Amino acid sequence: MKLWQKDKTSLKEVETFTVGKDREMDIYLAAFDVLGSLAHIEMLESVGLLTKDELSQLQKELKNIYQQIQRGEFKLQEDVEDIHSQVELLLTQKLGDTGKKIHSARSRNDQVLVDVKLFLRNELEELVKKIQPLFDLLQTQSEKYKDHLLPGYTHLQLAMPSSFGLWFGAYAEGLVDDIITIKAAYDVVNKNPLGSAAGYGSSFPINRSITTKLLGFEDLNYNVVYAQMGRGKAERIVAQSLANVADTLARLSMDACLYLNQNFGFISFPAELTTGSSIMPHKKNPDVFELIRSHCNRIKSLPNEIIMMTTNLPSGYHRDLQLLKEHLFPSFKILGDCIEMTGLMLSNIEIKKDILSDEKYKYLFSVEEVNKLVNDGMPFRDAYKKVGLDIEAGKFTYNTNINHTHEGSTGNLCTAEIRKQMQKTINSFPFATVQAAINSLLK
């Protein structure tokens, strides 16, 4: 069954090629397709395109389909093209001609658009909920290990003293900015395209504000041409927000792989969180972090993939857009799994004490010695030169005690301030409003 079928059947090879993985991707959209239809039919009844009795019948059956989806019992029949056709087929089998009326005043184009936006909105909310515990863990570990010093590096060369408080805290604050970009992506997808039809509106007297409110959208995509042009753009912006989180996790994972290396030896993990070698009995490999790094680096390529797939597309719908789903949709679960595994590893991390007592790290304290001379009245350039000459002459002396007090330094991590930034951003998401609208639609 195809919504667009007339009296000719496509060549089998054409049909197979054009459908591609779309049926598989449609399972991600199934529940959201039903939600979009529930809002659409309520609007149709309000403008006289359905009777109250027809609306009631359609609502009942759509909610039954929704429950089937939630229970994992919903499937696309082999001869049915997509989720939209499957839902309409089920309604028609139950309700006859009433089921056929559900597609009035819309196109598959805006139907897919609203499904995708509802899906992306929901997945972004779930992503935020998964990031929160990791943020909390990073802040907890930051405070717990704030007095444990480790080398800081620039150019992978010894630079200045750092601390595990700074290390954990840096990634916590990184997640704050990541959440800010997720909020920006959320704002883009939280606009209603339904009613734009094939991209040029409808001659029916539809009321797009009704579906906007029913689906919990913040506002409309007003211009119907732009509503269609927004497809691809919304996915790219969402992909970039995922890539930002992925970049944070990938960098943290690289640090962990380095710090676990015996030449560093800063951290360790219980044996059950590492893997071994088939030939070397001593090995404890950081496979979890290596896979997080690789998964996340692949996610970082998504924005570029999407922008290349939409390069030079003119306005209006094009079948190219179908392929955007194939890597973007599964990436939410992959990223979520990476977040959860990062949390598991960092919850069980073991930190080596007194790392900087080893004399090989003595030059980390060169800046401290320069600053001491400056505090005693010596001009900075002279102090810098003196310490440099002492190092070259083998006369450098140092003290491992450091006292950094400014905001965001080893002695003043500003954990509470960073937490306030995170909470402010999370509170700006309208999750409760959206959930209330969806609950009302399904009651």
Residues of the chain with CATH 1.10.275.10: 12-103
Residues of the chain with CATH 1.20.200.10: 108-150+162-202+221-357
Residues 6+ apart with CB under 8 A from 430: 190, 216, 218
User: pLDDT digits over 64-117, tens only?
Assistant: 999 999 999 998 888 888 888 899 999 999 999 999 999 999 998 999 999 999
Q: Which of 4-13, 245-254, 371-380 has the lowest mean pLDDT?
A: 4-13
The answer, yes or no, to whether residue 155 has pLDDT greater than 70, is yes
Can you name the residues that pair with 351 across neighbouring β-strands?
267
Can you name the residues that pair with 162 across neighbouring β-strands?
150
- How far is it, in rounded angstroms, from Cα 218 to Cα 430? 9
pLDDT of residue 273: 93
Can you name the residues that pair with 163 across neighbouring β-strands?
149
User: pLDDT digits over 321-344, tens only?
Assistant: 889 999 999 999 999 999 999 999
**Joined tokens for residue 381:** 């350039």
**Of the candidates 103, 117, 130, the residue with the CA atom closest to the CA atom of residue 28:** 117
Query: What average pLDDT does the segment 397-415 reach?
Result: 94
Mean pLDDT of all residues belonging to the chain: 94
pLDDT of residue 96: 96
Query: What average pLDDT does the segment 381-406 reach?
Result: 95
**Joined tokens for residue 305:** 């993939």
- How far is it, in rounded angstroms, from Cα 437 to Cα 434? 5
Residue 7: pLDDT band with limits 50, 70, 90: low
The answer, yes or no, to whether residue 129 has pLDDT greater than 50, is yes
Query: What average pLDDT does the segment 113-127 reach?
Result: 98
**Joined tokens for residue 87:** 């839902």
Q: Which of 12-16, 58-62, 139-143, 164-168 has the lowest mean pLDDT?
A: 12-16
pLDDT of residue 416: 98
Q: What percent of the chain has pLDDT over 70?
A: 98
**Joined tokens for residue 61:** 């059956």
Radius of gyration of the chain (CA): 28
Asked if residues 397 and 84 have their Cβ atoms less than 8 Å apart, the reply is no
The answer, yes or no, to whether residue 241 has pLDDT greater than 70, is yes
Query: What average pLDDT does the segment 363-376 reach?
Result: 96
The answer, yes or no, to whether residue 4 has pLDDT greater than 50, is no
pLDDT of residue 142: 98
The answer, yes or no, to whether residue 153 has pLDDT greater than 50, is yes
Residue 11: pLDDT band with limits 50, 70, 90: confident
Can you name the residues that pair with 153 across neighbouring β-strands?
158
**Joined tokens for residue 199:** 């991209």
What is the third-level CATH fold of 12-103? Fumarase C; Chain B, domain 1 (1.10.275)
Q: What percent of the chain has pLDDT over 90?
A: 86
The answer, yes or no, to whether residue 21 has pLDDT greater than 90, is no
Residue 239: pLDDT band with limits 50, 70, 90: very high
Compute the Cα dihedral for 134, 139, 140, 146 and give only its sign.
positive
User: pLDDT digits over 40-59, tens only?
Assistant: 999 999 999 999 999 999 99
Q: Give me the residue label for tokens 């950094």.
A: 404
User: pLDDT digits over 254-300, tens only?
Assistant: 999 999 999 999 999 999 998 887 788 788 889 999 999 999 999 99
Asked if residues 138 and 255 have their Cβ atoms less than 8 Å apart, the reply is no
Asked if residues 214 and 40 have their Cβ atoms less than 8 Å apart, the reply is no
**Joined tokens for residue 316:** 């209006």
Compute the Cα dihedral for 387, 393, 395, 400 and give only its sign.
positive
pLDDT of residue 8: 60
Query: What average pLDDT does the segment 368-380 reach?
Result: 96
3-state secondary structure string, the chain?
Answer: CCCCCCCCCCCHHHHHHHHCCHHHHHHHHHHHHHHHHHHHHHHHHHCCCCCHHHHHHHHHHHHHHHHHHHCCCCCCCCCCCCHHHHHHHHHHHHHCHHHHHHHCCCCHHHHHHHHHHHHHHHHHHHHHHHHHHHHHHHHHHHHHCCCCEEEEEECCEEEEEEEHHHHHHHHHHHHHHHHHHHHHHHHHHCEECCCCCCCCCCCCCCCHHHHHHHCCCCEECCCHHHHHHHHHHHHHHHHHHHHHHHHHHHHHHHHHHHHHCCCCCCEECCHHHCECCCCCCCCCECHHHHHHHHHHHHHHCHHHHHHHHCCCCCCCCCHHHHHHHHHHHHHHHHHHHHHHHHHHHHHCCEECCCHHHCHHHHHHHHHHHHHHHHHCCCCHHHHHHHHHHHHHCCCCCCCCCCCCCCCCECCECCHHHHHHHHHHHHHCCCHHHHHHHHHHHHC
User: pLDDT digits over 205-235, tens only?
Assistant: 999 999 999 999 999 999 999 999 999 999 9
The answer, yes or no, to whether residue 5 has pLDDT greater than 70, is no
Q: Which CATH superfamily is domain 108-150+162-202+221-357 in?
A: Fumarase/aspartase (Central domain) (1.20.200.10)
3-state secondary structure string, 16-43?
Answer: HHHHCCHHHHHHHHHHHHHHHHHHHHHH
